[in-house]
Amino acid sequence: MGPFLSDYKNNDASIFKHCVYNNEQDILNWLHDDDVLILDRGFRDTIRAMKQFGFQIAMPSFLNGRKQFSLEEPNLNRCITKVRWIVESVNAQLKKWKYFSQTIPNSSLCFLSNYIDITCALINAYGSHCVQHIHSGTEMATQMLQKCQTTNPVLLCLLQLLETKL
């Protein structure tokens, strides 16, 4: 999709909302009811719209005036961040190429998709891979989900100390 003008009004969130509301390239058929959209905090303005379309959203929490997160929120935030890491690392690999690390001239926009395809093919063929063993993803996902459910050991110690003093 795109290219899209990107400025202070036209950010990733507004572009994403535009694509969903206008069903750009039939995007609504790409996404299914049980899909979870893993978003960074920059997409906070899209949450209401995505929920209207019935999509599940996973995004790191905001403090929203609180001094600290609840006990569960940091584990969930770390899990979401780890899942998003792969997206950010691929973007970083693209930006290592001089052409993509700068402003791209309008005269090149009609070729941009081809340039990205070629660059990604070169990265896939000759670059270092973010994921070394594709089948280890299931193991890693299972470990991450287990860690999300893990209780903070420091909290357990504090609770035990409080119980012994009472």
CA distance linking residue 129 with residue 119, whole number of Å: 14
Q: Which burial class, exposed, middle or buried, applies to 15 when counting CB atoms under 10 A from its CB (0-12, 13-18, 19+)? A: middle
Domain region containing 117: 65-165
Q: How many domains are there within the chain?
A: 2
What's the pLDDT band for 32 if we cut at 50, 70, 90? confident
Assess whether pLDDT exceeds 80 at residue 121: yes
Instruction: Give the DSSP H or E segment for 61.
Output: none
Question: Do 44 and 111 share a domain, yes or no?
Answer: no
pLDDT of residue 98: 92
Query: Cα 69 to the chain's mean position, in Å?
Result: 20
CA distance linking residue 9 with residue 141, whole number of Å: 36
Question: Do 71 and 55 share a domain, yes or no?
Answer: no
pLDDT of residue 114: 93
Question: Do 83 and 155 share a domain, yes or no?
Answer: yes
Question: Do 10 and 42 share a domain, yes or no?
Answer: yes
Domain boundary among 59, 85, 106: 59
Query: 105, 87, 73: which is closest to 43 by C-alpha?
Result: 87
Question: Do 55 and 6 share a domain, yes or no?
Answer: yes
Domain boundary among 42, 59, 76: 59
Over residues 112-121, mean pLDDT = 92
CA distance linking residue 111 with residue 131, whole number of Å: 29
Question: Do 116 and 152 share a domain, yes or no?
Answer: yes
Q: How many CB atoms are located within 10 Å of the residue 93 CB?
A: 18
pLDDT of residue 130: 65
Question: Do 44 and 77 share a domain, yes or no?
Answer: no
Question: Do 143 and 83 share a domain, yes or no?
Answer: yes
Q: 132 or 58: which carries more pLDDT confidence?
A: 58
Question: Do 46 and 78 share a domain, yes or no?
Answer: no
Question: Do 149 and 69 share a domain, yes or no?
Answer: yes
What's the pLDDT band for 117 if we cut at 50, 70, 90? very high
